[in-house]
Amino acid sequence: MNKGIVYLVGAGPGDYKLMSVKGVEVLKIAEVIVYDRLADARLLEHTRPEAELVYVGKASSQHIMRQQDINALLVDRARQGKTVVRLKGGDPFVFGRGGEEALELAAARIPFEIVPGITSAISVPAYAGIPVTHRGIATSFTVVTGHEEEGKSQSTLRWDKLAMGADTLVFLMGVENLPNITAKLIAHGRAPTTPAAVIRWGTKPEQEVLVTTLGEAAQETARRGIKPPAIFIVGDVVSLRKDIAWFDNRPLSGKTILVTRAREQASTLTEALEALGAKCVEAPAIKINPPASFDRLDRAILELNAYQWLIFTSVNGVDSFFNRLQYSGRDTRALREVKVAAIGLKTAEKLRQFGILADVVPAEFRAEGIVSVMEDKLAAGMRVLIPRAAVARDMLPEALSRMGVTVDVVEAYRTGLGEADGKSVAEQLKDKEIQFVTFTSSSTVTNLIGLLGEEAASLLASTTVACIGPITAETCVQHGLHPDIIAEEFTIRGLVDAIHAYICEKEE
């Protein structure tokens, strides 16, 4: 049997977007992924559905699997002929024990490659607005482990050389040993007044930065209750943070926002909010499911020539319709005699992906808007097809019917209960860990309330509720919720802009 190969991959410091292109490429082909606690779970979305995921969960002083067992696992899976990715936080060779794993693989004659990652020693200070070197202030820096190998009878760190040997000192994994580190540095000549910083969860939305001095760092860290993972940086460069801090100065920094969209659609909203500094908790309250039967939709597709207009009210309706169109053995040429209308820019954009330019896209992104726009385009006796969700507002078909138009509303998909962990969300709301809740449809409102149970209204009362439009806001009111933010433009971009504006107004 051919031997497999092992890729020792650095996942970077925490922000999943800092993963290298090469790292993502090997994740996509891996048959086995062995990953650590500090590897962002979203990186695993790049993996194949059938890939074996092995969590080894190495945290400070807590090991799900011992290092020797991890080494043996890598060798075993590679000997089975598999492609293995060992996904590690930071860089594999910067206190990541990647060298040990590489030596084990070399001894077993297993092919391997090293995919470097961005080390937290440089990136975490950068996200805190602290350059490790700076002209006129620091021309050297040293990276040091915050705790040495367990069982060593004597430290190999040369504190006499280390304390004064570099302008900037960066200690990784050193929070629990901070009293000893600071005492050793001061004892060997570093001034207690030297600027210092402790940075927890660097590069992630929950990043926390404590700016202090070498002499006060241990006491202040304990007082603030700062726990691992964190780095400790010592040097005059820390003073630059007051002028060039950027990551935690963004509009939504420090805000945690609940995203209730379906899992496959949540990323658009999450990415837009994260770009403004928010931490997003994705709790899909809805799930897009196939209809109970495709019979009516399939029949309508076979009779497309009988319709003068095809109206899409959502991206999901577009996806479902064109999937069934292709299933029937036809393509967009089947629409050559049919005019197409789209409610919403995203719906129109989705149509363009299938090669269709909507004939009508109303400026108002809801059913009422399309009725007013199409009044002069429809005539009595015309037939209109609307593929949409099983449960939806009847306003549009009823208004069109009053115009003498024959309207066929066919079920293209169903909105079901999402995969959100209601208990987990409830606990976070109870602990005031979530400040904002976003609703992008009436279904997200009703389903989240269903997931939270009887305490829903009280749990959500202390949050800021943001709705994509008045229809969704009206559903909130019906369930006893007060919508604080209602987007004027009924799109994801409009919702994000409305949240941003609300924050800015509150902080003025």
Looking at the DSSP bridge assignments, the partners of residue 325 are none
β-pairing, 32-35 with 52-55? parallel
Residue 290: Cβ-neighbour burial (10 angstroms; 0-12, 13-18, 19+): middle
Q: What is the DSSP letter of 177?
A: G
Of 15, 19, 36, 339, the catalytic one is 36
Angle of helix 315-327 relative to helix 295-302, nearest 10 degrees, comes to 70
Of 88, 167, 173, 374, the catalytic one is 173
- Residue 23 near residue 115 (C-beta atoms within 8 A): yes
Gap between the Cα atoms of 157 and 151, Å rounded: 15
Contacts of 166 (CB under 8 A, 6+ apart): 140, 141, 142
Gap between the Cα atoms of 420 and 412, Å rounded: 24
Looking at the DSSP bridge assignments, the partners of residue 198 are 210, 232
The token duo for 284 is: 């899909």
| Count of CA atoms in the C-beta half-sphere (13 A) of 319 | 13
Residue with tokens 């090669």: 355
The backbone torsions φ and ψ at residue 481, rounded to the nearest 5 degrees and listed phi first, read -105, 145
CA distances from 185 to 74, 125, 173, 191, 282 (A): 39, 20, 17, 8, 43
Positive/negative CA dihedral, 32, 35, 41, 43: negative
Gap between the Cα atoms of 122 and 324, Å rounded: 51
**Cβ count within 10 A of residue 391:** 11
Quick one: which H or E segment has residue 19?
none
- The b/e string for 121-139 (b: 16+ C-beta within 10 A; e otherwise) is bbbbbbbbbbbbebeeebe
Can you point out the beta strands (E) in 235-371? 256-259, 279-282, 286-289, 309-312, 339-342
- Residue 59 near residue 65 (C-beta atoms within 8 A): no
Of 58, 255, 279, 339, the catalytic one is 58
The backbone torsions φ and ψ at residue 57, rounded to the nearest 5 degrees and listed phi first, read 45, 50
173 is catalytic: yes
36 is catalytic: yes
The token duo for 178 is: 């901070």
What does R_g of the chain's alpha carbons equal in angstroms? 28
287 is catalytic: no
The DSSP result for 323-362, as a single string, is: HHHHHTT--GGGGTT-EEEESSHHHHHHHHHTT---SB--
Q: Find, among 449, 439, 414, 390, the residue nearest to 288 by Cα.
A: 414
End-to-end Cα spacing for the chain = 68
Distance, C-alpha 502 to centroid of its chain: 22
Catalytically active residues are 36, 58, 173
